[in-house]
Amino acid sequence: SQQGEEDPQALSIQEGENATMNCSYKTSINNLQWYRQNSGRGLVHLILIRSNEREKHSGRLRVTLDTSKKSSSLLITASRAADTASYFCALLFTGANSKLTFGKGITLSVRP
């Protein structure tokens, strides 16, 4: 079935380091979004990148999209302990009628 594959499953870094998380998929998309989840409850939208875009920035976040490789990366620069959370990529596949497909998530731990 259609789903984003996130990599790595878990990431542990020191505060101040950069965190890179990846998402790959298999069929064409309209857009790709990244969400963050703290403590297993509601998700917060971080950034959306459309299929005709290659890179977007929002504060310390940088997202790239390579549609030829069907992959995206989320980079968090100068990480903080408060960035500790689960991060999900969500894909709007072409023809999916506004229905996002979420990956299984990446657990990021930022050590103070």
* Residues found near another protein in the complex (CB under 8 A): 3, 30-31, 33, 35, 40-45, 48, 88, 90, 92, 97-105
Kindly report the number of other CB atoms within 10 A of residue 98's CB atom. Answer: 6
The least distance separating another protein from the CB of residue 47, rounded to whole angstroms, comes to 10
Token code pair at residue 75: 């980079």
Cβ closest to another protein, residue 7 vs residue 15: 7
The least distance separating another protein from the CB of residue 95, rounded to whole angstroms, comes to 13
Q: Is residue 88 classed as helix, strand or coil in its secondary structure?
A: strand
Q: What string of DSSP letters covers 29-75?
A: EEEEEEEEESTTS-EEEEEEEETT--EEEETTEEEEEETTTTEEEEE
Cβ closest to another protein, residue 14 vs residue 97: 97
For 104, the enclosing helix (H) or strand (E) is none
Cβ closest to another protein, residue 69 vs residue 99: 99
The least distance separating another protein from the CB of residue 111, rounded to whole angstroms, comes to 21
Cβ closest to another protein, residue 11 vs residue 15: 11
